[in-house]
Chains A and B, each alone.
Chain A
Amino acid sequence: MNARRAAILIAAPLGLLYASLFIGRFAVPPLEVGRILWAHLAALPHTWPASLETIVVEIRLPRAVMALFLGAGLSASGAAYQGMFRNPLVSPDILGVTAASGFGAAVALLLSSSALELQLISFAFGLLGVLLTYMLARVYRTTPVLMLVLSGVVVAAFFGAMLSAVKYIADPESKLPAITYWLLGSLNAVSTRSLAMALPPILIGGTGLMLLRYRLNVLAMGEEDARALGVRTERVKGAIIVCTTLITAAAVSVCGIVGWVGLVVPHLCRMLVGPDHRALIPAAISVGATYLLFIDDVARTATAGEIPLGILTAIVGAPFFAYLLRRTRGTWR
């Protein structure tokens, strides 16, 4: 990857992050945002009202940072799975993590749990769902990718049905709308605390994917080839599944179900930097972060109310994917 491209990939999400702090229904002058942030590093006289500081530091900053990590994590996970499954139609929820996390969140909402409990329950169910998929796919101490995909379909269908059951018994006046809105996906409720809980798993998973990105190239040549090249395919696949599951479960537990990002962004990046995962994973992290933050800025500023994030990512993602499909005629070049 050349230096100019690397500089753009680093600058784009950071630039948009800064812009996201002064864009919004309550306008904050851009320079004031800079002074407020700087005041946290150096002693500056507070010449601005406390309400401005609250909006920038406690409301917009955690939300924007979460948007960056959500987009980066889902995109990197999607790119990794597409490589590992050798299939460009795979997204991070292929092993049932999203369905299971969504079910966990719905149960928490049904039980009127606190935000913290919801996040933990949803995260735990996400991990549980993928564990079930992995165990179901185990054949003679190996996990063939086809078995993984089919097991993921089964587990996702099961948790999908359980989710429907929860919705069915939920109080249609209060609980059902809460569950429905939550599942549509939103960064509305992100706080410093929920951000602090979601970041470690996303960082750990993301670091793992960055470290293993050359192995992804070898794995993308097929398992038989990878084994012949001395790769312990079961271990590497297991490590990649752990990484993407940590990321996706943490993301869903905070933000609800945000689809299409993990499917579309890796394709866009493959068009930009090619299929080599050494460049593709960093590109997916940067483009995914920028894309999701941009979508979230639209979600919170376009209308008087909030537009659920999952709706926007699908409205943007589906036509873009349709364009890719037509342009490449299914050959994914």
Chain B
Amino acid sequence: MSGVPRTADAASRAPAERVVEVRGAGFSFGKRPIFRALDLDVRRGEVLTVLGPNGCGKSTLLRCIGGALPLEEGVVRIGGAELESLEPAARARKIGFLFQEHAPSFPFTVLDVAVMGRTPHLGLFGAPSSKDVGLAIDALGQMGILHLKNRPYTDLSGGERQLVLLSRTLVQQPDIILLDEPTSHLDFKNQVHCLQAVGRLAAQGVTMIMTTHDPNHAFLFPGRALLMSPGASPAAGPAEEIVTSAALSTAYGIPIDVLTVPRRTGAGEYRFCTPW
């Protein structure tokens, strides 16, 4: 995969390469402002977790960074290049997108779906080569689902399907992957599988921005969190500083505690939040 091997302190290492730069971003639906004057940097190999209540604009921000929605003000730069200057195929070679829900259509095989990740690398009339198929097989192996390759992806469980679509995103070989609530339709086990896959990718140096409804996800990956709440300016920083009892309680409007307990394995502490 593209990206440099990640070391334990990559996120905190001083001037790491900025993969995503957002400057003065603003967006509104009609007269309702969603966010304004938003600055954001995401460094190579980092997982930025985007938190906030329903309607705060998490998905909108992600779509703006991915180029699916145009910003009203401000600019997004991907690897130094302005997002708006990129052709759709060039953009798709830099940015992969995993959506929260995918309505399956025809029973394409898992391998066929993964190979579709090569689309931005093909010409208009092109079709994938055996080399492209090889890349798809590698990605399925990396996600631990190579044994599914000849199954119709329509027959899979929601969690397996998310892993197939995540593999397809890897096959794009983007610099950055945007994940829009990737676990919101998954059961508990499948959530764990999906998040473990995200963790493995982060360990390999893939840059990711992930929106989520579960603030606990911010503690899973070494990286920063962005907390968005309506009426307040978004705050970004290390998860331990951003995802606090006070900040969460204000953002979601209910009292929320952040607790630390010793890990089940005995090594270090585990941080989690609970409203109960």
Contact = CB atoms under 8 A, between A and B. Distances in A.
Interface string A240-270: 0000000000000000000000000000001
B276 interface: no
B127 A232 contact: no
B13 interface: no
Contacts of A222: 102-103, 105
Contacts of B109: 274
Interface residues of B, number: 33
B126 A229 contact: no
A220 interface: yes
B119 A218 contact: yes
Contact of B105 (A86, A212, A215): A86
Interface centre among A214, A221, A229, A270 (most CB of B within 10 A): A229
Contacts of A270: 106
Contacts of B88: 227, 230-232
Interface stretch (B28-36, B90-98, B135-143): B90-98
A188 interface: no
Contacts of A144: none
A135 interface: no
B89 A217 contact: no
A276 B108 contact: yes
Contacts, number: 73
Interface centre among B87, B93, B96, B119 (most CB of A within 10 A): B119
B97 A230 contact: no
Contact of B108 (A212, A226, A228, A275): A275
A173 to B, nearest CB: 51
Nearest to A212: B125
Given A211-B125, A215-B124, A230-B120, A220 B92 contact: no
Contacts of A215: 124
A217 B68 contact: no
A274 B92 CA distance: 28
A242 to B, nearest CB: 14
A229 B92 contact: yes
Interface residues of A, number: 28
Interface string B51-66: 0000000000000001
Interface stretch (B110-118, B220-228, B264-272): B110-118
A175 interface: no
Contacts of A83: 106
Interface centre among A214, A230, A333 (most CB of B within 10 A): A230
B122 interface: yes
Contacts of A226: 119
A58 interface: no
Contacts of A224: 68, 99
Contact of B102 (A212, A225, A229, A274): A225
A227 B116 contact: no
A124 B8 CA distance: 67
Contacts of B106: 83, 86, 220, 270, 275, 332
A228 B122 CA distance: 14
Interface in B28-83: 66, 68
A35 interface: no
A221 B113 contact: yes
B126 A214 contact: yes
Nearest to A228: B97
A181 to B, nearest CB: 38
A215 B125 CA distance: 8
- When A and B form their complex, which 6 residue pairs have the shortest distance between CB atoms, in order from nearest? A230-B92, A230-B120, A275-B106, A230-B89, A228-B97, A214-B127
8 contacts: A86-B105, A214-B126, A215-B124, A222-B105, A229-B92, A229-B120, A230-B119, A274-B109
Interface of B: 66, 68, 87-93, 96-97, 99, 102-103, 105-109, 112-113, 116-117, 119-120, 122, 124-128, 152, 172
Given A214-B127, A275-B107, 14 more contacts: A86-B105, A86-B106, A214-B122, A218-B116, A218-B119, A220-B105, A224-B68, A224-B99, A225-B102, A227-B88, A228-B68, A230-B92, A275-B108, A278-B127
